[in-house]
Chains A and B, each alone.
Chain A
Amino acid sequence: MNEALQRLRGNAPAQLVLGLAIGVGFGACLQIAGVTRYDVILGQLLLTDFTVVKVMLTAVAVGTVGVYLMRGAGLADLHIKPGSVGATVVGGVIFGAGFAVLGYCPGTVAGAVGSGALDALVGGVTGILIGAGIFAALYPRLEASVLRVGALPTATIPDLLRVSPWAVVVPLVLAIAVVLYGIELAGL
């Protein structure tokens, strides 16, 4: 791999600046799209406004092609999160309840704070910090029990299907295009 790239990745202060810079761009995108608003998030969950799905699926389609191209060129490595039924599904259900009740997620709540949503700052961020603290305190007991239940069979979908990543990336991008076209056609 490129030596300059290795040095940059190992440069701790530069990485903090990069994290901040990428975050500024991320926040700008979330704000432009409107997904930092409670009304847009709840509109998605109540199936009246498909902005969140449009933003996420476009990001995934663009992201997956670039990341797998860079991986093929030896410029990027994957960082797959492990999962299990007990961790991913149970945690996901709790997350979904929080998503609907709060009306923001951990990324959009930060953007909402920036755009002046005081419920996001006073209620949302405080709540997420308390919840994360509760999870950290419960972690040893959860880790020894529910989080281990039902490990997923493979790390990635291409591994599960025993095909090359591109045999998933290409149909995925096409499927996303079809879904987004359908959403626009339906006027959502």
Chain B
Amino acid sequence: MDWTPYIAGAGIGVLSWLAFLLSDRPLGCSTAYARTSGMIERAVRGKVVLDRAYYKQFAPRIDWEWMLVLGVVIGAGATALLTGAFALVWVPPTFEAAFGPSVPLRLAVALAGGVLMGIGSRWAGGCTSGHGISGTLQLALSSWVAVFVFFASGILFAFLLYGVRP
């Protein structure tokens, strides 16, 4: 039996204690993308972007959660380098086995999936971290509903995409 997923999961649980205790916040990732999107749009279109109702709620600036997401990039990257798992990959093996080695195809699919993910996570008010871990551990009703729907829908679309085959 492989204990790694349990050790990593327990580690994330302890990090969520630290987030509540030291920062009075739950772990979450998706609002950082909304803030970044606002920062980019502001750089292009100017201050009118700040009039958007959504950015009055989630100001386009670097905050705790933005730093958390930056930390995830650094922490995963450093761990990957240390364990020898770091590799520059354009097309993941599972995708390649089903849809071929085309890089433009994978990027187009990832972009489309990303757009859906960006809309869906803000629409639902959280992602697999904010709802799936932080919300459920607080016993939030919305988060248990969200994580159930995330996986039910994810499983449905994954089977549609890959076809129902063993």
Contact = CB atoms under 8 A, between A and B. Distances in A.
A188 to B, nearest CB: 11
Given A26-B71, A95-B127, A157 B144 contact: yes
A72 interface: no
B103 to A, nearest CB: 8
A81 B118 contact: no
B75 A80 contact: no
A8 to B, nearest CB: 6
Interface residues of B, number: 127
Nearest to A135: B122
Interface string A154-169: 1111111000010011
B22 A8 contact: yes
Interface in A1-60: 5, 8-9, 15-39, 42-43, 45-47, 51, 54-60
Contacts of B66: 19
Given A83-B141, A152-B145, A97 B121 contact: no
Interface string A93-107: 111111111111111
Interface in A76-116: 76-84, 87-116
Contacts of B8: 29-30, 32-33, 35, 55, 58
A120 B137 CA distance: 28
Interface in B19-57: 19-27, 29-30, 32-34, 36-38, 40-41, 52-55
B11 interface: yes
Nearest to B95: A38
B139 to A, nearest CB: 5
A147 B141 CA distance: 16
Nearest to A10: B24
A96 B148 CA distance: 10
B78 to A, nearest CB: 7
Interface string B104-146: 0011111111111111111111111111111111111111111
A31 B131 CA distance: 20
Nearest to A58: B9
A134 B117 contact: no
B149 A89 contact: yes
5 nearest CB pairs, A to B:
A127-B114, A23-B71, A131-B118, A96-B153, A83-B142
20 contacts: A16-B62, A30-B76, A32-B83, A42-B158, A59-B16, A62-B14, A87-B125, A91-B124, A94-B153, A97-B157, A99-B150, A102-B114, A105-B117, A111-B72, A116-B88, A128-B30, A129-B40, A136-B37, A154-B141, A159-B141
